[in-house]
A = this chain, B = another copy of it.
Amino acid sequence: MGAYEELMAFQRVTEALAQVSGRLGWDQETVMPRGAARQRGEEMAAMEEVLHARRTDPRIGDWLAAIDEAALDDTARANLRLIRRSWERATRVPAALATEIARVTSLAQGIWAEARREDDFARFAPTLETVVRLKREEAAALADGGDLYDALLEDYEPETSAAEIAALFDAMRPRLVALRERILGLERTPPALSGHFDEAGQMQLSREMAEAFGYDFSRGRIDKAVHPFSSGSGDDVRITTRTVTHDPFNCIYSTIHEVGHAAYEQNIAPEHHLTPVGRGVSMGVHESQSRSYENQLGRSRAFTGWLYGRMRALWGDFGVADADASYAIVNRVVPGFIRTEADEVHYNLHIFLRFDLERALIAGRLEVADLPEAWNARFREDFGVAVDRPSHGVLQDVHWSVGLFGYFPTYALGNVYAGCLMAALRRDVPDLDAHLARGDTRPATAWMAEHLQRFGGLRTPRETIRHATGAEPSEAPLLDYLEAKFGELYGL
């Protein structure tokens, strides 16, 4: 065996162990007995110890040095690039710091949850200060003299920079603010749903939607969880959803969103399974899949028309007059404090706010003590209303408590990428709506599999989008789409 083959054999075992660790997370959120929590913490820590030892194994350095890269094909070079990045990052962070971050963030999540419940930022502030300090230290170790925030961003969206993202977001913000102001200026109360929708029916519809979007049940399953997620790669990619009695759309669109993530992982070419290339390339590209499945496809007029028929068949008259009314309900634009409940028009504004604040925190331009005020001021500016309590503002997201700095921008990047992909898809499949109106997503999902999903991490995130669409990623298609869709819906 050559050095490359030896490295890949070693890496394959690491990838398999990472799958096991991920499945343990799935188990915890779906089927684990509640009394097992403490023991599970030790089991997860044991897996992390093993994985960390493998990711920093000195033999990786020897293999990397011994490999003649010129002799490799594209796939091998991509694997090598991903392994090298992972190894360099893992070895740069001192073990004591990594352990301290793991320890602090595992406690911080509980403290954050309590502070949110009590609506008391002061209770969380000292912990958040520690997390920010540790993440700055980690960033400094990773950055090697470069930008601290960029170093953290690399974990979620490699090969971009905060400056690039800031330029993108700055270009988007005025048009989004303008769009929301035009809609809200109408002072129209959007229609809403009322009634009771049985859980069994919702779960049945959830399975139907998953099938409609090409989720492969022979290599996955749907369960219920408090916060829906997708988990796993290759031949074992599981999703979760939730049910809310008065709002079946919550279950339906949670499912479609997670199917977008899962389809990406399921459709990566089998020869990449259990290799670094065999996973979605970045959080942004991942989110482009979940968001385009959920929004551009799932909330389209054509698809919601078909969905309305399925809901009528299941629940009879459920208080919504026709398909148009249903379309209006799933696309209602309402100002709200909570990111996860935001509509397509507001969503990115939530992200921009978080991105700017977390960047300032990591750069040291903003102190944790000043964070609530900065949040509230910015919220008033972009959303036109005052935050009424911390749990509706700075305390609403779990991310910072668990040290996820650099993660938020990938949500908006995903929307931007989704905009690019859908423009290309609609160009290539002009009669897409005719298919969607019959509940047939295959032309869309097949296009996504063929042009993007099957390649996994073969290319960088930007190259992945460029390869799929034939163009440089840009915010224009997303903004055009939003203005057209909501302009038509609201008669602007």
Contact = CB atoms under 8 A, between A and B. Distances in A.
A248 to B, nearest CB: 25
Contact of A46 (B13, B42, B236): B13
A188 interface: no
Nearest to A36: B236
Nearest to A38: B235
A217 B31 CA distance: 12
A42 B16 CA distance: 7
Nearest to A30: B31
B35 A219 contact: yes
Contacts of A235: 33, 35-36, 38-39
A236 B17 contact: no
Contact of A47 (B20, B221, B236): B20
B218 A32 contact: no
Contact of A19 (B33, B35, B39, B217): B39
A381 B236 CA distance: 50
Given A20-B43, A46-B16, A36 B274 contact: no
A167 B192 CA distance: 79
Contacts of A32: 236
A39 B16 CA distance: 8
Interface string A261-285: 0000000000001100000000000
Contacts of A238: 33
A220 to B, nearest CB: 5
A250 B412 CA distance: 55
A45 interface: yes
Interface in A28-62: 31-36, 38-40, 42-43, 45-47, 49-50
Nearest to A34: B218
A235 B32 CA distance: 10
A23 interface: yes
Nearest to A219: B35
A17 B50 contact: yes
A219 B33 contact: yes
Contact of A39 (B40, B217, B273): B273
Contacts of A20: 20, 24, 43, 46-47
Contacts of A221: 31, 33
Contact of A219 (B24, B36, B218): B36
Contacts of A50: 17, 50
A39 B218 contact: no
Contacts of A38: 235
A16 B35 CA distance: 16
Given A17-B43, A27-B27, A32-B236, 12 more contacts: A16-B42, A16-B45, A16-B46, A20-B20, A20-B47, A23-B27, A33-B218, A33-B221, A36-B235, A39-B234, A39-B235, A39-B274
25 contacts: A14-B46, A16-B43, A16-B45, A16-B46, A19-B39, A20-B24, A20-B46, A20-B47, A23-B43, A27-B27, A32-B236, A33-B217, A33-B218, A33-B221, A35-B216, A35-B219, A35-B235, A35-B236, A36-B219, A36-B235, A38-B235, A39-B234, A39-B235, A39-B236, A39-B273
